[in-house]
A and B are shown apart, each in its own frame.
Chain A
Amino acid sequence: MSKIGNVWIFIEQEGGNIADVSLELVSKGRELAERLGVKTEAVLLGDKIEKCAETLYEYGCDTVYLVEDKRLEPFTVLPYAKVIIDMVREHKPNILLFGATPKGRELGPRIASTKLAGLTADCTDLKIDDFDDKVNKKSYKDKLMQIRPAFGGNIIATIVNTWDDPQIVTVREGVMKMNEPVKGRKGKLVKVKAELSAEDTIIKVIERVRKEKSVNLKGAQIIVAGGYGVGSKANFKLIYQLAEALGGTVGASRAAVDAGWINHDHQVGQTGVTVRPKLYIACGISGSIQHRAGMTESKKIIAINNDPDAPILSVAHYGIVGDLNEIIPKMIKAYKAKV
């Protein structure tokens, strides 16, 4: 038995479908747990969701703590916080990971505040390392290095939680690599009863309207993204035409979304989706630091821009300086001629 606690991952699910970010965190969590010599454990809350456990074992969980209760569906922050705090107090995990999703970002702070634990938001990398606190002359062994951008993405900070465990973080979607599941891999199911009082359920959901995203950018191998330089909603058809010709998916910068030319589901960047396709073609995107944060991991980046000083060119592998209205049709023509 190890003296330190295990690595826990909060599993986000909607109608029994596990969010991608949770599986990404199971993969990362397992890597951290192996480094520490502890177990990878999932915290799964909701109602009628037991079948999710199989998937979680296959992605690398040793244990699934399953809490099923009608009052946990749909998600509301107070009962979720209560159940997880009770479990944290009983089992004392060393690390607790949340997706930096709307749910994770309202639940994490509530739990950290109750536990007087530190919390780092929106991490883009996690590592285990030692920490020398020179100010307080204290040394810590095997702490979680919580790496995140700050100041609008202009700096990267490494943060360490030195107080009460668990070390809690939220992690940005799409940045951790999801491992391949191992078919037939088994784990241990631990059923937990939700101890909830009337006080925990005082917030009532009167109406809930949700639809799945109209586009899957995260899974796309080729993304053709348009920015403010596209010029108009009508002109966005060029972006669609290039995407269709190359078998790609349409993305956009925040400026294009804010201009109302395309809906938010297509937005790449800090307030949109983080992507890492084989090919990313940025058309008329200047490349704000917030946009670059969401696409620099792409294998190949082509930037088409009429401004030779656009920041996007500094992260591109190929830069084409010129008018996208002329360049895009030439690309379509060239591609069709080749295949």
Chain B
Amino acid sequence: MSYTIIVFVKQVPDTKNVTGQAMKPDGTVNRAALPAIFNPEDLNALELALQLKDRYGARVIVGTMGPPPATAILRDALYRGADEAILLTDRAFAGADTLATSYALSCCVKKLGHFDLILCGRQAIDGDTAQVGPQLAEKCHLPQVSYVEEVVSLDSKKIVAKRAIEGGYEVLECPLPALLTVVDANEPRPPAARRIMKCKKAKTRSELAKAHGYANYTDAEVLVTEEEALKAKGLWIHEWTAADVGADPNRIGLAGSPTKVKMIESVVLAGADFKKVEPSEEGIHKLIHELIEDHTLG
């Protein structure tokens, strides 16, 4: 049999390489100054899905919620081996916290219908919350296995997975369908040259409209014809709005987010009373003496 695996991914600012220029004078982050990347652990989730596809046969659907530029990571996922891609995009999704995000994704899951597994990266590097996976599992009434390192076995009824726990590991058996969050425990495969050649032509409906000089997607004949052609070649990136997935407007975006940001401050370095110590015998003797004097050293 062939499995259906949904992988949810996120495009994130590369917070590990924040430079001084990325902070605005008011202490907020200038996202524009940060390169947008494929969230690292989401690549691990995609890799796990592709490994299952190699081992057992599967259709791998990759989905993301974000503004149109997030299509870049969907294309990247297609280059690496995903079969289908969905962009969930709508201004109404903006400002979502993890609860509103997981609700929106659960609507997407409902629209997709049948599936066996949902995979997510453990957490995204912009917020580091690790909440969307478990919350999505709850919204879809699925059992969840967090911090998965590898899949031991998969059959039509259940999955056996090894996962990290504090100070060790567990092997868990979980019936399907299920949601797994995946940690940085595999080596994501690079995009394949052959797939890049093919999938670089993949488009969303907005991209298609734009390519033909339309401001928005319409049912103009030229668009409809090319849409059919792209679909036939598997090069159609689904673009769904809140209405397309039947999301309740009160539960998405800012309106659907119980957590509000009261205040943002930039991190100010402690800047303690700094003493420069000369790396000479004398300088170090003085330092050690001072630390013994003030009882820091016994």
Contact = CB atoms under 8 A, between A and B. Distances in A.
Interface stretch (A62-70, A105-113, A174-182, A229-237): A105-113
B178 to A, nearest CB: 9
Interface string A307-324: 000010111111111110
Nearest to B297: A246
Contact of A159 (B169, B260, B271, B283): B260
A316 B273 CA distance: 8
A155 interface: yes
A159 B18 contact: no
A321 B130 CA distance: 39
A289 B138 contact: no
B284 A320 contact: yes
A78 to B, nearest CB: 6
A118 B263 CA distance: 17
Interface string B268-298: 0111111111110101110111011000111
A157 B166 contact: no
A184 interface: no
A282 B125 CA distance: 25
Interface stretch (B3-11, B21-29, B209-217): B21-29
Interface string B143-167: 1111100000000000010001111
Q: Mostly helix, strand, loop or mixed at chain B's interface?
A: mixed
B134 interface: yes
Contacts of A61: none
Contacts of A81: 138
B131 A108 contact: yes
Contacts of B99: 112-113, 116, 118-119
Contact of A209 (B169, B283, B297): B169
B259 interface: yes
Contacts of A259: none
B139 A113 contact: yes
B15 interface: yes
B271 A319 contact: no
Contacts of A279: 291, 296-297
A196 interface: no
Query: Which of A103, A112, A113, A157 is the most central at the interface, judged by chain B CB atoms within 10 Å of its CB?
Result: A113
A96 B233 CA distance: 51
A106 B132 CA distance: 10
B39 to A, nearest CB: 12
Interface string A159-202: 11111100000000000000000000000000000000000001
A103 B284 contact: no
B248 interface: no
Interface string B171-183: 1111100000100
A161 B127 CA distance: 16
Contacts of B221: none
Interface string A198-219: 0000111111111111000000
B69 interface: no
A190 B126 CA distance: 41
B243 to A, nearest CB: 22
B201 interface: no
Q: Mostly helix, strand, loop or mixed at chain A's interface?
A: mixed
A319 B128 contact: no
Contacts of B164: 102
Contact of B167 (A112, A118, A161, A211): A211
A331 B288 contact: yes
B279 A314 contact: no
Contacts of A301: 272
Contacts of A250: none
Nearest to B137: A110
Query: Which of B147, B257, B285 is the most central at the interface, judged by chain A CB atoms within 10 Å of its CB?
Result: B285
A203 B145 contact: yes
Interface in A216-268: 222, 246-247
Given A246-B297, A296-B270, A152 B166 contact: no
A113 B259 contact: no
A160 B167 contact: no
A300 interface: yes
B13 A317 contact: no
Contacts of A17: none
Interface in A139-169: 145-146, 149-164
A334 interface: yes
B10 to A, nearest CB: 14
A300 B292 CA distance: 12
14 contacts: A112-B135, A118-B257, A119-B98, A145-B262, A154-B18, A155-B29, A158-B264, A207-B170, A208-B170, A316-B274, A317-B274, A320-B276, A334-B281, A337-B285
Leading 7 A-B pairs by shortest Cβ distance: A152-B15, A163-B258, A322-B279, A118-B258, A210-B168, A109-B134, A121-B129
Given A278-B296, A302-B287, 6 more contacts: A81-B138, A109-B98, A135-B260, A158-B263, A208-B169, A213-B167
